[in-house]
Amino acid sequence: MTSGSGYEGANYAVEFDEMERTTSLTCEVRGPVSKRDSSFYGDFSWLIRPLGLDFVDDHFEETTKGLS
């Protein structure tokens, strides 16, 4: 599946955890990470903008597994 940003998603998986009452969607997104010199940079605006999210103003909690 290709998004309007030109990035491509593949290998989708959905997991339901009834005990924790959570749903997780994982997939590979091809294209939003680039490398300059020895550093990697990620562009996640393709994910947060359509949802109306903002990493600065929404006070996400970062964990070793992602954001919540």
Question: How many structural domains are present in the chain?
Answer: 1
The whole-model pTM stands at: 0.45
Residue 14 pLDDT > 90: yes
Residue 1 pLDDT > 60: no
Measuring CA to CA, how many Å separate 27 from each of 19, 43, 57, 59?
Answer: 23, 16, 25, 24
Output 22 or 4, whichever has higher pLDDT.
22
Q: What does pLDDT average to over the chain? A: 79
Residue that has been written with the tokens 């940079």 in this structure:
41
Enclosing domain of residue 45: 8-59
Confirm if 33 and 46 have CB atoms less than 8 A apart.
Answer: no
Residue that has been written with the tokens 């997104």 in this structure:
29
* pLDDT above 70 coverage of the chain, percent: 76
Domain contains 33: yes
Domain contains 52: yes
Tokens matching residue 58: 């929404």
pLDDT, one tens digit per residue, over 15-38 is: 999 999 999 989 888 877 888 898
Q: Determine the Cα–Cα distance for residues 46 and 22; give it in Å rounded to an integer.
A: 23
